[in-house]
Structure 1
Amino acid sequence: MKQILFIVGIAFLVSCGNTKQSTEKVEEEDIEITKHGDAITEEGAVSPPNFLAQFEGKDSLNIKLTANITDVCSKKGCWMKLDLENGKSMRVTFKDYGFFVPLDAAGKLAVIDGIAKIDTTDVATLRHYAEDANASQEEIDAITEPEINYSFEAVGVIIKEKNAI
């Protein structure tokens, strides 16, 4: 009887583990997909040109976007940059600093869901971002003016190999 109670107790403890995970890996026909933050789908995601067209005349936009990842924070994956296909990129941060993306995500495709904004990034923040991206001291010192740009606060991210989306 003691053995049965012991086995039931162990099974109960194992089943009580934390079931919420902020990162999930999925294999679809040998294509690695990672999911971070809130659960999102690819359905309804727009391309960078469609995103820019929808954003015109607005200062913020709740949207789902798919784009190439060009850069990732080299320290812990706390931000990434996406190619907007117009010669510019957009910095993506993650809601409430609640999740990160893999450090090797550059060169892959991302589907992000959240809020895009137009904002001004001050010199101190730009220099901090440059440090995170392992820029040289010369490159960091060359940052002398604020930038007006797009930013995005994502609640969820899907990352795939480029040929998978």
Structure 2
Amino acid sequence: MFSVTASAQKKVALPHGMVYGTKPGSIGLKKASELEDFMGRRTRISAVIVGKVLRVTKPKGGWFELDADSGRVIRAHFKNYNVTLPVELKGREVIIEGVAAKQFIADDQQHMAGDTVVGKKQHEALANPKKRLVFEVTGLMINK
């Protein structure tokens, strides 16, 4: 006779209202799909957005991707590296607060120079149109 021991991994319960980082505000709440249009020509903006998590890319440091509709993706990460997100966050609706920035290709190693055209070179030339926004998160709350 022999015995078989089966152990199942415990599924992490992610209740509505669970907060990672600081609790995000609700003033000026926008949908993730509206963020790029709301930014207009600005390269960086503080915002509070709501959207669906596509996947958690790196749990340590809180790296994840947010759905911005029409195949567009907002890549997000926490400002504070000490935050660890569970991979079970995939498919959940979240409210996040932080700073959104447009991705651009910097010329001559001038990464902080801004989003301008210099000579014949254009910053937007190599940027993926589906992954143009990066979001530095200060707080996340599970909404649904």
Name the TM-score, length of structure 1 as normaliser. Answer: 0.58
Preserved CA contact (<8 Å) 2:55 2:65: yes
Matched, 1:80 2:64: yes
More helix by share: 1
Counterpart residue number, 1:90: 74
- CA offsets, 1:25-55, max 9 Å, x none? xx9xxx5331000122344321123322211
Matched, 1:156 2:124: no
Aligned residues with identical type, % of pairs:
20
Note the C-alpha offset of 1:75: 5.0
Counterpart residue number, 2:87: 103
Aligned partner of residue 71 in structure 1, secondary structure:
strand
Greater relative CO, 1 or 2 (CA 8 Å, sep 6+): 2
* Aligned residue type for 2:138: V
For the residues of structure 2 that align with 1:152 and 1:103, how far apart are their CA atoms?
18
* Aligned residue type for 2:66: L
In structure 2, the CA distance between the partners of 1:56 and 1:85, relative to structure 1 (3 Å rule), is same
For the residues of structure 1 that align with 2:63 and 2:127, how far apart are their CA atoms?
19
Counterpart residue number, 1:32: 16
Q: Tell me which of 113, 117, 122 is aligned to 2:97.
A: 113
Preserved CA contact (<8 Å) 2:54 2:91: yes
Preserved CA contact (<8 Å) 2:101 2:133: yes
Note the C-alpha offset of 1:77: 6.4
Residues 119-130 of structure 1: pairs in structure 2 closer than 5 A = 119-120=103-104
Preserved CA contact (<8 Å) 1:114 1:153: yes
Preserved CA contact (<8 Å) 1:120 1:147: no
For the residues of structure 2 that align with 1:57 and 1:75, how far apart are their CA atoms?
32
* C-alpha RMSD over aligned residues: 2.7
Note the C-alpha offset of 1:147: 3.9
Counterpart residue number, 2:49: 65
Name the TM-score, length of structure 2 as normaliser. Answer: 0.65
Preserved CA contact (<8 Å) 1:59 1:117: yes
Tell me which structure has the larger Cα radius of gyration. 1
Unaligned runs of 5+ in 2: 1-13, 106-125
Unaligned runs of 5+ in 1: 1-26, 122-144
